[in-house]
C-alpha cells in the first residue's frame, strides 16, 4: 500500500513538472516543447552494433550539405593530423572510426540547431562550448582511466548534462538573464531557478525535454547535479552520472576560476587525477574543439578559455591551488627530486618500433623473442622506468598473474617477485584483468595493490594493459614511470594500446600454429 502511494506520488510530481513546463512554454507563444531536428535524432539513434552502421552514418551526414562540409573540415584539421586529405565521409568513418565521426557530426548538428534557435548568441555559444569540452573529456577519461563504459555513451551524457540550462537560455532568454542576475548576487542556482521558473530547476527542465525527445534513460539520469557514488564497477549508470557531473564541473571550475583541487579531491576514488593531468585534459579538449565550427570558436573566445588554462598552469608551477582567492594558499612545495632521463631511443621513433614489431608478425618468430622485443619497444620507444610482462598461471589452489620478462630499474629478482592473485576483486590488477580494461593509476593510490607489491609500486604512475583473447585475460603488460615524470600524452596512450594489440596478435598466431 505504501509502495503504491509512493509510486503515485512520484508520477503526480512528474506530471506536475511536465504541466508547468507546458505552461511556461505556452507563455512565450510556443504550442509545444522545442523539437529536436531530424538529423540529430537520426545520429543519436545510430549504434555501432549493426553491420550497416558505417553506411547508415554516412547516409545521414550526406543528407545535409553544410554538415558534410563541416565534418570534413574538422576531420582534415590539424588536431587529427591524418597526413593526407580526407575527401569523403565514408573514408572519415574508416580512418577515425564510427563513434568518433558520429559524435562529431551529432555535436556539430546539435550546436548549429541551438545557435540558430537562440536570440542571445554569446550566452548560448558559451554554454555549448563548455558542454562540448566536457563531452570530449568524458570520452577521453573512459579510455585513459579504464572505465567500464561505452565511450559514445559517456560523450552524449556529458554533452547533454546541462540540457535544461541550454533550453532556458535559448527559449526563455529573459528568464535566463534574471536567473544569472540572481546568481551573481549570491543566490544559489537552484533557488534562483525555482523563484524565476515557478519551482522548476535547470535539471528538471532538462529531464522533461529529454523525455519529450525520447532520449535514453541514461541521458536523463546523467542530468543529476548531485549524483551518488556508483554501487560497484558494473554500475554503468552510476559511473555515467559521476563522469558527466565531474567533467562538467571541471570545465566550470576552470572557466569560472573556481576550486579545482576540491573537485579533484571529491572524485579522487572514482576518477583519480592530479591537477596537472586535469589541466592537460582541458588543453586536449580545447585543441579538439577549436575546428568544430565558427560558433564553437566564438564560444571558446568569449570564455577566454586559453587564458584561464594558462592561469591554472601558472598556479601549478608556483605550487598553489589553481585560481582560488577565497581558499587559503598552501605553502609552496619543495622542489621535486631531480629525475634521471627516461631511456627513450635517440635514433628510432615509436613508429619505427611499431613497424618492426608488425613486420615480425608476418614471418616465423619465437614467442619469447617477440616478448623481449615488445618490452624494448615500450621501454625505449615510448619511455618508461619499468616494463614487465606477466602471464596468467593457473594452479590447483589459485589463479595468479606472475612476471615473466622485465626491463628497467628492476632488482635481480624483481620480475620473479611480480605476483598477484586474481581471485579477489579488491585490487586493481585483478579488476583490470577480470574486465579486460586498461587502467591508469596515480602514484600511491590507496588500496590499489596488495602489501607484497607496495615495494614495487611506491611513488610510481602505473599503466595496466591486460592481454586478452576472447574477452579472457591471459597476460598483463605493467608499465610505470617515477612520480614527477610527465603524464602520457594521447599519442603515447595510443602507442601502448597498439603494442598490447600486437601482443594479442602474436599469441593468437602462436595458438593457430598449434
Between 1 and 362, the more confident residue is 362
What was the pLDDT predicted at 43? Answer: 83
- 490-513 and 350-360 helices, crossing angle to 10°: 10
What is the reported pTM? 0.59
Percent of the chain with pLDDT over 70: 84
What was the pLDDT predicted at 392? Answer: 93
CA torsion, points 484, 386, 147, 263, in degrees to nearest 10?
-10
What was the pLDDT predicted at 374? Answer: 92
Closest CA to 171 of 139, 143, 142, 208: 208
Task: Give the H/E segment covering residue 434.
Answer: helix 428-435
What was the pLDDT predicted at 294? Answer: 74
Task: Give the H/E segment covering residue 401.
Answer: strand 399-408
Average pLDDT over residues 388-414: 82
Average pLDDT over residues 400-417: 77
What was the pLDDT predicted at 7? Answer: 45
What was the pLDDT predicted at 410? Answer: 73
What was the pLDDT predicted at 493? Answer: 92
What was the pLDDT predicted at 83? Answer: 67
What was the pLDDT predicted at 161? Answer: 94
Average pLDDT over residues 409-416: 64
Name the least confident of 147-151, 266-270, 322-326, 368-372: 322-326
What was the pLDDT predicted at 90? Answer: 84
pLDDT for residue 81 is more than 80:
no
| Residues with Cβ within 8 Å of residue 299, at least 6 apart in sequence | 122, 125, 126, 127, 128, 129, 130
> How far is residue 19's CA from residue 243's CA, in Å, rounded to a whole number?
31
pLDDT for residue 334 is more than 60:
no
What was the pLDDT predicted at 85? Answer: 78
pLDDT for residue 488 is more than 70:
yes
Average pLDDT over residues 390-410: 86
How many other β-carbons are positioned within 10 Å of the β-carbon of residue 373? 16
pLDDT band at 317 (very low <50, low <70, confident <90, very high): low
DSSP state, 405? E
pLDDT for residue 330 is more than 90:
no
pLDDT for residue 322 is more than 50:
no
Strand partners, 407: 387
Lookup: cell for 508: 593468437
Over the stretch 89-134, which tens digit does the pLDDT of each residue have?
888 888 888 877 888 888 888 777 777 776 677 888 899 899 999 9
Strands 399-408, 419-421: pairing is antiparallel
What was the pLDDT predicted at 319? Answer: 56
> How far is residue 146's CA from residue 127's CA, in Å, rounded to a whole number?
28
Between 18 and 293, the more confident residue is 293
Between 165 and 298, the more confident residue is 165
Lookup: cell for 143: 579510455
Between 319 and 433, the more confident residue is 433
* Residue-averaged pLDDT of the chain: 82
What was the pLDDT predicted at 17? Answer: 60
pLDDT for residue 468 is more than 50:
yes
What was the pLDDT predicted at 14? Answer: 54
Residue 372 sits at the vertex; the CA angle it makes with 370 and 373, to the nearest 5 degrees, is: 65
pLDDT for residue 8 is more than 80:
no
Over the stretch 438-453, which tens digit does the pLDDT of each residue have?
999 989 888 888 888 8
Over the stretch 284-294, which tens digit does the pLDDT of each residue have?
888 888 767 77
pLDDT for residue 323 is more than 50:
no
* Domains within the chain, CATH numbers bracketed: 10-317 (1.10.3210.10), 350-513 (3.30.450.40)
Over the stretch 158-214, which tens digit does the pLDDT of each residue have?
999 999 998 888 888 889 999 999 998 889 999 999 999 888 899 999 888 888 887
What was the pLDDT predicted at 339? Answer: 76
Amino acid at each position: 500500500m505504501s509502495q503504491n502511494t509512493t509510486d503515485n506520488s512520484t508520477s503526480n510530481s512528474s506530471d506536475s513538472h511536465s504541466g508547468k513546463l507546458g505552461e511556461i512554454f505556452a507563455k512565450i507563444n510556443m504550442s509545444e516543447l522545442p523539437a529536436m531536428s531530424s538529423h540529430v535524432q537520426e545520429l543519436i539513434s545510430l549504434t555501432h552494433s549493426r553491420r550497416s552502421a558505417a553506411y547508415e552514418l554516412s547516409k545521414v551526414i550526406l543528407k545535409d550539405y553544410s554538415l558534410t562540409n563541416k565534418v570534413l573540415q574538422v576531420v582534415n584539421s590539424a588536431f587529427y593530423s591524418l597526413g593526407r586529405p580526407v575527401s569523403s565521409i565514408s573514408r572519415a568513418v574508416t580512418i577515425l572510426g564510427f563513434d568518433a565521426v558520429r559524435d562529431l557530426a551529432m555535436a556539430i548538428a546539435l550546436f548549429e540547431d541551438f545557435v540558430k534557435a537562440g536570440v542571445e548568441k554569446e550566452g548560448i555559444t558559451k554554454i555549448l562550448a563548455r558542454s562540448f569540452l566536457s563531452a570530449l573529456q568524458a570520452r577521453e577519461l573512459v579510455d585513459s582511466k579504464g572505465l567500464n563504459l561505452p565511450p559514445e555513451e559517456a560523450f552524449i551524457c556529458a554533452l547533454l548534462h546541462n540540457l535544461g540550462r541550454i533550453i532556458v537560455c535559448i527559449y526563455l532568454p529573459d528568464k535566463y538573464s534574471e536567473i544569472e542576475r540572481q546568481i551573481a548576487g549570491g543566490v544559489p542556482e537552484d533557488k534562483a531557478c525555482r523563484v524565476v521558473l515557478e519551482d522548476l530547476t535547470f535539471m528538471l527542465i532538462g529531464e522533461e525535454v529529454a523525455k519529450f525527445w525520447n532520449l535514453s534513460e541514461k541521458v536523463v539520469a546523467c542530468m543529476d547535479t548531485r549524483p551518488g557514488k556508483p554501487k560497484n564497477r558494473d554500475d554503468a549508470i552510476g559511473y555515467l552520472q559521476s563522469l558527466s557531473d565531474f567533467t562538467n564541473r571541471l570545465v566550470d571550475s576552470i572557466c569560472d576560476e573556481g576550486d579545482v583541487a576540491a573537485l579533484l579531491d571529491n572524485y579522487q576514488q572514482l576518477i583519480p587525477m592530479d591537477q596537472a593531468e586535469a589541466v592537460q585534459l582541458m588543453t586536449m579538449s580545447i585543441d579538439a574543439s577549436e575546428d568544430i565550427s565558427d560558433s564553437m570558436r566564438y564560444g571558446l573566445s568569449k570564455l577566454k578559455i586559453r587564458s584561464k588554462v594558462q592561469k591554472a598552469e601558472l598556479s601549478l608551477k608556483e605550487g598553489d591551488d589553481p585560481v582560488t582567492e577565497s581558499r587559503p594558499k598552501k605553502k609552496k612545495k619543495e622542489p621535486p627530486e631531480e629525475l634521471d632521463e627516461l631511456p627513450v631511443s635517440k635514433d628510432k621513433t615509436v613508429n619505427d618500433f611499431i613497424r618492426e614489431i608488425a613486420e615480425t608478425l608476418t614471418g616465423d618468430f619465437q614467442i619469447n623473442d617477440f616478448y623481449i622485443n615488445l618490452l624494448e619497444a615500450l621501454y625505449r620507444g615510448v619511455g618508461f622506468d619499468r616494463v614487465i610482462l606477466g602471464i596468467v598461471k593457473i594452479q590447483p589452489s589459485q589463479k595468479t598473474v606472475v612476471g615473466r620478462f622485465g626491463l628497467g630499474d628492476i632488482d635481480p629478482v624483481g620480475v620473479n617477485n611480480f605476483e598477484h592473485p586474481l581471485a579477489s576483486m579488491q585490487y586493481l590488477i585483478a579488476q583490470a584483468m577480470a574486465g579486460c580494461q586498461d587502467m591508469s593509476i596515480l602514484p600511491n593510490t590507496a588500496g590499489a595493490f596488495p602489501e607484497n607489491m607496495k615495494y614495487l609500486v611506491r611513488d610510481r604512475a602505473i599503466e595496466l594493459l591486460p592481454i586478452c583473447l576472447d574477452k579472457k585475460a591471459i597476460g598483463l603488460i605493467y608499465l610505470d614511470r617515477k612520480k614527477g615524470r610527465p603524464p602520457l600524452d594521447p599519442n603515447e596512450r595510443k602507442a601502448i594500446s597498439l603494442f598490447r594489440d600486437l601482443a594479442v596478435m602474436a599469441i593468437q598466431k602462436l595458438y593457430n600454429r598449434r
